[in-house]
């Protein structure tokens, strides 16, 4: 018995330590019943609460107990029946995980006991106790979740309080020797095993065997060792301890109960056999109970598709064909034919987002005349071969640009380029000189007041806009790009 008690203690204490660890955040499953606050792992909510009533014979274990196991059942001149005491109570159960849970017990009952040797007395008493215990699912731990599906075997251990009132009497005469002088209380450590069978979706029937270890030696109104032999006065008390503990072991009491459990929660389900196999179907609109169901059993195995099924899924999810006009740019202006309002723009034209040709010089003149704000618009200033001298035909346009920038908050980005007919180092330097030529003209001759509005960059021959194999393409690549910006 001691080894069994130690096993139950270690397992139940382990369950209490594991309770905080069990309340972990879960991965979000694709289920409308997902419960992010559930303290167990699983894609579906499960019912977790239950309430039990229990009742059965109670038994005392302490100084006034004639035998360790077999109670005295007769009343006579030197004996008093230890049999016939009962207890009953309520238990509130909370299953925290499939393996671990907690229970709150409240019970009340009566106790009796007697002892001929040394004490020659018996006692009668009543008690009420309350305790909170941690439980461990021994059936699931030892046999797994798929065996003995409708059985639940729990070991538990906890802590609580007992309130008791007892009186000790002399055997034969019935003379009162000592009492607790009213109700007193002390700590208890309950330990036990509960065996349940799932009768229906709501009801379980079971047995509960429990021993309460008390922090007192006075439940039988007798301190262990408070007796003395006196031929003239029989047994008389010669020692008056000042605590509730005598010279013997602390008292214990327990019971064996029949337990009826009602499982709380909405739409309860009970797993049943289909073709010799237990099958879970949580999608039928109900909830299994965590007392009997490992949530991992509710996770459906992934379906492995055949090649034909994969091909069917791919065809069903294939997007619509792309309009071929999205992939074409007939005039090479950078706008696909699908969006291009002018799909036949002349080569090298500056266009807006709809593909319409924009005349940079006309735009600047209109902006000066109407006072409109700047928009993003592009233009190119081209140069002769290996030259960075600004051509006269661009001077008026640059004058208008400077005037517009002085009047408004417009900025200007300059990017210099060269054709491919030189080394990379030379072309980088040449494209830089061309940018500086445009910038110097704007500042020194066109009258730009704030030179910080100009942003410059140069790329050599690394960003051509035309085919360098032709003379016309080489000319287009010898350029400085102007980008007018708000």
Domain limits, the chain = 2-298, 359-485
Edge-to-edge strand list for the sheet holding 454-458: 377-382, 479-485, 411-416, 454-458
How confident is the model at residue 372, as a pLDDT? Answer: 59
Helices (H), 408-470: 424-440
Is the pLDDT assigned to residue 236 strictly greater than 60? no
For the chain, what is the mean pLDDT? 83
Other Cβ atoms within 10 Å of 192 Cβ, number: 25
Check residues 432 and 246 and name the one with the higher pLDDT: 432
Indicate the CATH number of 2-298 among 2.40.160.20, 3.30.70.250, 3.40.470.10, 3.40.50.620: 2.40.160.20
3-state DSSP assignment of residue 144: coil
Would you state the structure tokens that stand for residue 234, as one six-digit string? 């029989």
How confident is the model at residue 326, as a pLDDT? Answer: 66
Check residues 108 and 337 and name the one with the higher pLDDT: 108
Cα–Cα distance measured from residue 386 to residue 436, given in angstroms and rounded to the nearest whole number? 15
pLDDT digits (tens, 9 = 90+) for 306-350: 888 888 888 888 877 777 766 676 666 667 777 777 777 666 566
Is the pLDDT assigned to residue 227 strictly greater than 60? no
**Contact in structure between 250 and 220 (CB atoms under 8 Å):** no
CA 236, 239, 245, 246: dihedral to nearest 10 degrees?
Answer: -70
Cα–Cα distance measured from residue 430 to residue 460, given in angstroms and rounded to the nearest whole number? 7
Cα–Cα distance measured from residue 179 to residue 484, given in angstroms and rounded to the nearest whole number? 105
Helices (H), 110-153: 138-143
pLDDT range class, residue 233, cuts 50, 70, 90 = very low
| Mean pLDDT, residues 353-372 taken together | 69
How confident is the model at residue 168, as a pLDDT? Answer: 94
The fraction of the chain above a pLDDT of 90, given in percent, is: 48
Q: What is the CA radius of gyration of the chain?
A: 47
Handedness of CA 288, 292, 295, 301 (dihedral sign): negative
| Mean pLDDT, residues 425-433 taken together | 93
Cα–Cα distance measured from residue 155 to residue 16, given in angstroms and rounded to the nearest whole number? 12
Cα–Cα distance measured from residue 143 to residue 298, given in angstroms and rounded to the nearest whole number? 18
Cα–Cα distance measured from residue 314 to residue 312, given in angstroms and rounded to the nearest whole number? 5
pLDDT range class, residue 176, cuts 50, 70, 90 = very high
3-state DSSP assignment of residue 320: coil
Is the pLDDT assigned to residue 21 strictly greater than 90? no
Would you state the structure tokens that stand for residue 295, as one six-digit string? 């949530």
**Contact in structure between 198 and 152 (CB atoms under 8 Å):** yes
**Contact in structure between 418 and 374 (CB atoms under 8 Å):** no
Q: Name the CATH architecture for the domain at 359-485.
A: 2-Layer Sandwich (3.30)
Check residues 227 and 61 and name the one with the higher pLDDT: 61
How confident is the model at residue 380, as a pLDDT? Answer: 85
Mutual angle of helices 360-370 and 395-407, in 10-degree steps: 40
| Mean pLDDT, residues 255-284 taken together | 89
pLDDT digits (tens, 9 = 90+) for 46-80: 999 999 999 999 999 999 999 988 899 999 989 99
How confident is the model at residue 213, as a pLDDT? Answer: 97
Check residues 191 and 303 and name the one with the higher pLDDT: 191
pLDDT range class, residue 235, cuts 50, 70, 90 = very low
Cα–Cα distance measured from residue 320 to residue 285, given in angstroms and rounded to the nearest whole number? 38
The mean-pLDDT minimum among 181-190, 206-215, 307-316, 318-327 falls in 318-327
Cα–Cα distance measured from residue 67 to residue 81, given in angstroms and rounded to the nearest whole number? 12
pLDDT range class, residue 198, cuts 50, 70, 90 = very high
How confident is the model at residue 273, as a pLDDT? Answer: 82
């Amino acid at each position: 018995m001691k080894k069994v008690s130690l096993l139950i203690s270690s397992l139940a204490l382990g369950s209490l330590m594991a309770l905080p660890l069990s309340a972990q955040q879960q991965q979000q499953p694709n289920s409308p019943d997902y419960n992010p606050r559930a303290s167990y792992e699983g894609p579906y909510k499960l019912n977790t609460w239950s309430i039990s009533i229990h009742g059965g014979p109670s038994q005392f274990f302490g100084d006034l107990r004639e035998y360790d196991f077999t109670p005295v059942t007769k009343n006579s001149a030197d004996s008093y029946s230890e049999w016939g005491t009962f207890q009953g109570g309520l238990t509130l159960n909370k299953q925290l995980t499939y393996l671990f849970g907690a229970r709150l017990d409240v019970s009340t009952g009566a106790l009796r006991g007697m002892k001929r040797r040394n004490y020659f007395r018996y006692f009668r008493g009543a008690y009420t106790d309350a305790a909170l215990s941690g439980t461990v699912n021994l059936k699931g731990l030892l046999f797994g979740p798929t065996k003995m599906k409708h059985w639940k075997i729990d070991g538990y251990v906890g802590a609580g309080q007992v309130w008791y009132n007892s009186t000790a009497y002399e055997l034969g005469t019935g003379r009162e020797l000592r009492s607790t002088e009213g109700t007193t209380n002390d700590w208890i450590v309950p330990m036990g095993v509960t065996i349940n069978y799932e009768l229906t979706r709501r009801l379980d029937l079971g047995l509960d065997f429990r021993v309460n270890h008390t922090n007192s030696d006075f439940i039988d109104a007798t301190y262990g060792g408070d007796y003395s032999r006196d031929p003239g006065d029989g047994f008389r008390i010669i020692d008056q301890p000042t605590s509730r503990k005598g010279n013997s072991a602390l008292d214990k009491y327990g019971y064996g109960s029949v337990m009826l459990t009602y499982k709380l929660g909405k739409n309860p389900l009970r797993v049943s056999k289909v073709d010799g196999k237990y099958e879970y179907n949580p999608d039928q609109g109900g909830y299994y109970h965590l007392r009997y169901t490992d949530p991992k059993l509710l996770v459906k195995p992934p379906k492995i598709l055949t090649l034909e099924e994969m091909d069917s899924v791919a065809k069903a999810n294939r997007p619509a064909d792309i309009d071929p006009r999205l992939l074409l740019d007939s005039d090479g202006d950078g706008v696909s034919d699908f969006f291009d309002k002018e799909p036949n723009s002349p080569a090298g034209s500056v266009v807006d987002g709809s593909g319409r040709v924009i005349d940079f010089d006309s735009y600047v003149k209109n902006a000066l005349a109407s006072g409109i704000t700047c928009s993003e618009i592009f233009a190119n200033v081209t140069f002769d071969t290996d030259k960075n001298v600004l051509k006269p035909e661009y001077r008026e346009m640059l004058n208008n640009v400077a005037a517009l920038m002085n009047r408004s908050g417009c900025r200007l980005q300059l990017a210099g380029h060269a054709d491919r007919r030189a080394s990379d180092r030379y072309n980088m330097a040449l494209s830089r000189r061309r940018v500086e030529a445009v910038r110097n003209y704007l500042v020194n001759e066109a009258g730009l007041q704030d030179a910080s509005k100009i942003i410059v960059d140069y790329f050599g021959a690394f960003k051509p806009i035309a085919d360098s194999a032709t003379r016309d393409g080489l000319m287009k690549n010898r350029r400085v790009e102007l980008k007018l910006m708000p």
